[in-house]
Amino acid sequence: MSMEAANDNIKNTLVVRKPCFGLPTACPQSLSAYIYLKLSQLPFHLHFHLNYPDSDQIPYFEAGDSVVYNNEKEGIIECLKKDARVGDLDLDSGVSSLPEWIPTKVMLTTWLADALEYELWVGCDGSSAYNIYYSDLPWPIGKVLFWKKYHWVKQKHAITKNNVEVKEEEIYERANSAYDALSTLLGDANYLLGSRPSSLDAIFLAHALVVLQALPESSTLQIKFSEHVNLVRYVQQRKTELIEAGAFPSNDTPFHAGASSSASRGSKSKSKPKGDKTKEESKEEKTYRKRAKYFVVAQVVAVVLFVSIMSGYGNGDVEVDDADADYGYD
């Protein structure tokens, strides 16, 4: 596991989802917590949690015996600001009373958060979301969890096959309006609210970095964001200060696992000399392959049953539209 600080005496640890796309983590919630702590200049270790990708407790922050989870109260940043055991981490004192504070926070936590959520899970091909959350899981489990989240996002935004174009247009229009307002608010300043950082900067920088680095170039959200020159400049400047260049991996796991693996096998077979003959498989090898196939099928069945049972709790009154579901894979 990587560490953000080399000092072994440091008791603070931020636990986030894995690094990817050249970022310490590409999970928007985890990245905003990371940036907030960096802006607070608090030394901390950075640990990566690879299990339970759908847990709403991640990110969480450990300070000695105190633990602050993301699903507490209003989220991890608000908890860090108010928890005296962690220390004085309130970046918002003196700026939260400004008239721009409330409308800016509302735009960041509703319009832009919704737009990024939609783009990650529904608007694009799903490869970014898969690599951020599920690429370390066995392929069948990751695929089923992605499917479950995909439908959850559609339900949240009341998207059906009859209104998908209208809903998508609304989401992108609100996001672009938010970018326009933030561009005007920022101007040529170093931070959103003037000369000092706040939690709003942490939330917006996390959003912007995921949009610019994790989404594909064809992303509508990335295209709209890139039209605002001062926002792009602001993000690049802050990124240089907060994230060490080359410290985190930019490679990611292919989302189309089945297609990529079969293509790879095809290219390998073509590269073999014509005179080479494949060795006849032994009885044991054939038995092993057959058992491996049964194991994969059993995994898929078990996960589907598990998801079906769990989705029955608390979601009985929600209608799911499966008629034209396009999952972005297969």
Q: What is the pLDDT of residue 289?
A: 54
Is pLDDT above 70 for 94?
Answer: yes
Backbone angles phi, psi at 312, to 5 degrees: -75, -15
- pTM (2 d.p.): 0.75
Residue 289 tokens, joined: 């392959």
Domains of the chain: 12-244 (1.20.1050.10)
What is the per-residue pLDDT for 65? 83
**Backbone CA torsion sign across 150, 138, 292, 278:** positive
pLDDT tens readout for residues 250-269? 755 444 433 333 333 333 33
Q: What is the mean pLDDT of the chain?
A: 80
- Residue scoring higher pLDDT (202 or 82): 202
Q: Which band of pLDDT confidence, cut at 50, 70 and 90, is reported for residue 303?
A: low
Q: Which pLDDT belongs to residue 171? A: 97
Give residue 80's pLDDT: 87
Condensed to tens digits (0 to 9), the pLDDT of residues 161-200 reads 999 999 999 999 999 999 999 999 999 999 999 889 999 9
CA dihedral in degrees (142, 147, 148, 151; nearest 10)? 160
DSSP 218-268: T-HHHHHHHT-HHHHHHHHHHHHHHS-TTSS------S-HHHHHHHHHHHH
Greater pLDDT, 144 or 276:
144
Q: What is the 3-state secondary structure (H, E, C) of 273-328?
A: CCCCCCCCCCHHHHHHHHHHHHHHHHHHHHHHHHHHHHCCCCCCCCCCCCCCCCCC
pLDDT tier at 6, thresholds 50, 70, 90: very low
Sequence-distant (6+) residues with CB within 8 A of 6 are: none
pLDDT of 301 > 50? The answer is yes
User: Mean pLDDT over residues 224-253, rounded?
Assistant: 86
Answer whether residue 321 shows pLDDT above 60.
Answer: no
Rounded to whole angstroms, how far apart are CA atoms 237 and 97? 26
Q: Which of 225, 300, 201 has the alpha carbon at shortest distance from 258? A: 300
